[in-house]
Amino acid sequence: MKIFFDTNVYVAEALLGEATEQLVQATQKAGWRIFCSGYVLDELERVLTESFGFSARLGTLSRRRVLHRARLVEPGASRHEVVKDIKDSPILKAALAGRADYLVTNDKELLALHPYEGLQIISMTTYFELLKNEGHIRLEN
């Protein structure tokens, strides 16, 4: 299985920690491949530092953490566009270039495209349920 996490997943991981981190760790333990792009890495650093006011150090550490777990994919020229929010197009293009099975995002414009040419575009909540149903996340009582 190939997974492409949108920037908002990594931002949630940096801000919320454990809950989102569990998604990424379960993905790794399942042996599923995680893909990322330079665009996502740049956006992650920018959002953490400029939008949330965190230190450049946190941005850099978050970037390195993603690079440690993900394979980098860079899309070439492509006809694929997210018309309602053109800033989301690089995310869609990278997920397609990596031939991801799932694009995990909480972005409403991307979610509205589901499914897109064989790419399943799902929310973090839906992805959590998928991992749970596959037995990769077990809830403690």
Residues 97-107 have pLDDT tens digits of: 999 999 999 99
Which tokens is 9 given? 């997943």
**pLDDT at 140 (0 to 100):** 66
- Residue 35: inside a domain: yes
pTM: 0.93
- Residue 138: inside a domain: no
Give 76-119 pLDDT, tens digit per residue. 777 888 878 789 899 999 999 999 999 999 999 999 999 999 99
**pLDDT tier at 73 (50, 70, 90 boundaries)?**
very high
**pLDDT at 141 (0 to 100):** 52
Give 13-72 pLDDT, tens digit per residue. 888 878 788 899 999 999 999 999 999 999 999 999 999 999 999 999 999 999 999 999
**pLDDT at 117 (0 to 100):** 93
Domain count of the chain?
Answer: 1
CATH of the domain at 20: 3.40.50.1010
Q: Whole domain around residue 29: which residue ranges?
A: 2-133
- Specify whether the CB–CB gap between 37 and 71 falls below 8 A: no
Handedness of CA 41, 80, 30, 106 (dihedral sign): positive
Under DSSP, the state recorded for 139 is -
**pLDDT at 77 (0 to 100):** 75
- Residue 71: inside a domain: yes
- Residue 139: inside a domain: no
Q: Would you call 106 exposed, middle or buried from its count of C-beta atoms within 10 A (0-12, 13-18, 19+)?
A: middle
- Residue 77: inside a domain: yes
What average pLDDT does the structure give for the chain?
92
